[in-house]
């Protein structure tokens, strides 16, 4: 079966692309990596045999442009399995590409097997409480969950740059509001997330120096986002981001199922909550029953010392 990886490098960063390439190598068969970027990328040189579609406008592509660019890289014949890291490119064009080639589109995929001409994919369901196995024939575009697959070893081969030529622009006037706050959550090794228990915007801000000391990214529960303390891009959960860090620290978060489903890929979970019966403790490897504001000065001292 022909398998291809398709990604916009700036959208998702290098790690999810390497994970998709790792899965592709593991599945075997005829493989191809197709990347979109606004200019030649030094990082691509170490990625082996890659076709890099370059166009300056891909710094901020609209769906028309991204779709046309992807079709030019893919050519007339779609692969049997198209792997895309979950992110803005899949959101923009994943379903449209699938429709164009008569393929299925499946998102939140964390396991893939080939079964003859069919592809069997595992995806999360019911907010991560269950898994569903989907058997797709006739081709599939799969959006891969960040952190679900081991990254590829740098393969042999070199990158070929493809000039994409004229690309169409969407007819609508666009205003791009780019919220970069949660950009790094998908690939963060450590995440400190704050919830309503922090009590105020200033309380949430107290997590910032803590996160900085740990080299962590800042996440949030939906309650903290609804309060306006954190940006929607930082929300972890069923209607937010799915994250898979080595360490997830949940501070003042009760542990609602909708939040847990976003953090269930975390390797180690530490929760701080003043209510010993908070459900977050059932999901935590280490639970600290404490008021954050009493704990923080001690932590600060220990970390600074």
Which residues here bind ligand FAD, judged by CB under 6 A? 195-197, 221-224, 235, 237-240, 252-254, 256, 258-259, 262, 272-275, 278, 291-293
Within 10 angstroms of residue 235's Cβ, the number of other Cβ atoms is 25
Q: How far apart are CA 105 and CA 128, in angstroms?
A: 19
DSSP label at residue 260: H
Nearer to ligand FAD, 149 or 281 (CB): 281
Q: Which residues of 210-230 are buried (b: 16+ CB within 10 A; e: fewer)?
A: bbeebebbbbbbbbbbebebb
Three-class SS state of 263: helix
Instruction: Tell me the closest approach of the beta carbon of residue 121 to ligand FAD, in angstroms.
Output: 23
Instruction: Tell me the closest approach of the beta carbon of residue 259 to ligand FAD, in angstroms.
Output: 3
For tokens 């960040």, the residue is 146
CA dihedral 206, 207, 209, 215 (to 10 degrees): 180
Nearer to ligand FAD, 57 or 295 (CB): 295
Nearer to ligand FAD, 151 or 289 (CB): 289
Q: What separation in angstroms does the CA of 286 have from each of 153, 191, 272, 299? A: 33, 15, 9, 16
Instruction: Tell me the closest approach of the beta carbon of residue 230 to ligand FAD, in angstroms.
Output: 10
Instruction: Tell me the closest approach of the beta carbon of residue 252 to ligand FAD, in angstroms.
Output: 4
For tokens 């952190």, the residue is 147
Nearer to ligand FAD, 247 or 283 (CB): 283
Q: How far apart are CA 87 and CA 290, in angstroms?
A: 36
Nearer to ligand FAD, 57 or 256 (CB): 256
CB distance 216 to 271 below 8 Å? no
Instruction: Tell me the closest approach of the beta carbon of residue 203 to ligand FAD, in angstroms.
Output: 8
Instruction: Tell me the closest approach of the beta carbon of residue 134 to ligand FAD, in angstroms.
Output: 23
Nearer to ligand FAD, 142 or 220 (CB): 220
Facing residues of 37 across strands? 54
């Amino acid at each position: 079966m022909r398998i291809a990886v398709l990604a916009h490098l700036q959208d998702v960063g290098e790690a999810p692309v390497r994970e998709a390439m790792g899965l592709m190598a593991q599945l075997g068969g005829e493989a191809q990596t197709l990347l979109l970027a606004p200019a030649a990328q030094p990082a691509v040189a170490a990625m082996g045999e890659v076709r890099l579609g370059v166009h300056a406008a891909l710094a901020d592509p609209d769906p028309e442009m991204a779709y046309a660019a992807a079709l030019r890289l893919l050519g007339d014949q779609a692969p049997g399995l198209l792997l895309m890291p979950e992110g803005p490119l899949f959101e923009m064009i994943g379903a449209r590409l699938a429709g164009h080639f008569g393929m299925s589109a499946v998102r939140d995929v964390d396991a893939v097997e080939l079964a003859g001409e069919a592809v069997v994919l595992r995806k999360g369901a019911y907010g991560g409480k269950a898994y569903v196995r989907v058997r797709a024939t006739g081709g599939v575009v799969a959006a891969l969950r960040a952190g679900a697959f081991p990254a590829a070893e740098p393969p042999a081969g070199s990158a070929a740059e493809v000039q994409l030529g004229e690309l169409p622009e969407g007819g609508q006037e666009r205003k791009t509001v780019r919220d970069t706050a949660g950009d790094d959550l998908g690939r963060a090794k450590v995440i400190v997330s704050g919830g309503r228990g922090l009590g105020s915007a200033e309380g949430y801000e107290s997590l910032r120096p803590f996160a900085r000391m740990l080299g962590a990214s800042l996440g949030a529960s939906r309650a903290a986002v609804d309060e306006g303390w954190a940006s929607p891009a930082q929300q972890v959960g069923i209607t937010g981001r799915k994250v898979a860090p080595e360490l997830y620290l949940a501070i003042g978060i009760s542990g609602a199922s909708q939040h847990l489903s976003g953090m269930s890929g975390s390797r180690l979970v530490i929760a701080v909550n003043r209510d010993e019966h908070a459900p977050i403790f059932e999901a935590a490897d280490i639970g600290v029953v404490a008021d954050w504001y009493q704990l923080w000065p001690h932590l600060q001292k220990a970390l600074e010392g």
